[in-house]
A and B are shown apart, each in its own frame.
Chain A
Amino acid sequence: MTSRGLSMYNWLSVITFPQTLDDADRTATAAKLQALLQELPRVRSTMAMPSPADPFRLNGGDLVCRTVFESRGDYQKAVDSQQGQQVKALLNDQSTAAALNEVGYEGGLSGGAVTSPTIYRVALFCANIEPTRDRLEQFRTETSLMPSYIKTIQRWQLSTLSSQDTARGLHHWTHVWEQEYAELDGLTGTYLFHPDHWAHVDRWFDPEYPEFLVDPVLVNTFCPITTSVILT
């Protein structure tokens, strides 16, 4: 079942640490970010989890930070707060984040039941190849139907960024595609190898198709979670 009701506002960062940062420094930085994010005013939920090396990932970074607010206004107040400025300073510090992909976005189409997720996956897309309204709408429709075919997808959300949203990094990102899974194989096995993916929806990502829409440079990453993080 798909819903499009009142939506939360989300702040997501995929951080790549400098190679000079050792494991202890990485753990300390993650803990510092987690603590700062938790102290943000009006925050609904937050996480800062390491993303493990895996061939499934693409520009997947080392740390995934995701924070949820009731509204864009709450997000803005949080970012403007002292703790928010400290987070921003860390994200903009090359000695902390050698590379950063960051988006702020209102939750879009969503669905799925919360059961017992252990994996959160997020992909950032830039739909910049002939992005007409009809093509974008068909892409959105087909992508949001994937969970009805791929049963390992639990909670999911497909969000479209507006010109007011933060979107920086490798691209000015246009879409955020998120899912939760009970186990990693549901993502790197079932999701990847289901025909709805490689024979259908991937048309929008493949330069060999006339439907080609999404820039091949994208962010595709995942991290462990202990509770559902996609709140609607």
Chain B
Amino acid sequence: MDDITVKPGQGPAFVDAYMKNYVPGATRRGMTLAFRMVGSAQWMRNGEPNPDRILFVWTVPDADAVWVFKFAGRNDPSVLHWWRDQVPNFIVSRTRSIMADVDDLAGLVNV
């Protein structure tokens, strides 16, 4: 999950850039984009004190698929270019995390 806080007024432009510059490659690396959620359910205008928060939720089927997209990503210079050189123009902060369903945790650690 990419949890991204976007500069006020930059929300729509960032989503466009994400869809154009990041999503096609990520999809080729085996990730499936499940949700694009925006808080607070509207775009904040430029000059507003509160920025937009956007969650891009991706899914992969298993741990093998995690390593597949990870290794493909770190061998593709355009991925680093996107996160390091392009994304900072739009955002205040971001986190990325990999999560699993609570019912799957016992199985995941039993490897």
Contact indicator A149/B96 (Cβ below 8 Å): no
The number of A-B residue pairs with CB atoms under 8 Å apart is 52
Are A199 and B111 also in contact (CB < 8 A) when A193-B63, A208-B73 are? no
Q: Which residues of the partner chain A approach B67 to less than 8 Å between Cβ atoms?
A: 192, 198
Is the C-beta of A206 less than 8 angstroms from some C-beta in chain B?
Answer: yes
Determine chain A's interface SS by DSSP, over half rule.
helix
B100 / chain A contacts, CB cutoff of 8 Å: 195, 199
Residue A189 interfacial (CB < 8 Å) = yes
Question: A131 near B: Cβ within 8 Å?
Answer: no
Chain B residues whose C-beta falls within 8 Å of the C-beta of A203 in the assembled complex: 96
In the bound complex, do residue B80 and residue A195 qualify as a contact, i.e. CB atoms below 8 Å apart? no
- Interface size of A as a range: 20 to 34
Can you list, as one digit per residue, whether each of A173-207 has a CB less than 8 Å from chain B (1) or not (0)?
00000000000000001101111101100110111
* A199 and B66 in contact, given A193-B111, A209-B96, A210-B96 (Cβ under 8 angstroms): yes
Query: For residue A196, which residues in chain B have a CB less than 8 angstroms away from its CB?
Result: 109
Q: Are B109 and A194 in contact (CB under 8 A)?
A: yes
Residues in B whose Cβ lies below 8 Å from that of A206:
70, 73-74
Contact with A along B85-111 (1 / 0, CB 8 A): 000000001111111100001001101
Q: Which residues of A contact B108 (CB under 8 A)?
A: 194-195
13 pairs, A vs B, C-beta closer than 8 Å: A193-B63, A193-B111, A195-B109, A199-B66, A206-B70, A206-B73, A207-B74, A208-B70, A208-B96, A210-B93, A210-B94, A210-B95, A210-B96
Question: Beyond the given A198-B98, A208-B83, A209-B96, could you list 12 further A-B residue pairs with CB under 8 A, ordered by the A residue number?
Answer: A190-B111, A193-B64, A194-B111, A195-B108, A199-B66, A199-B99, A199-B100, A202-B70, A203-B96, A206-B73, A208-B70, A216-B74
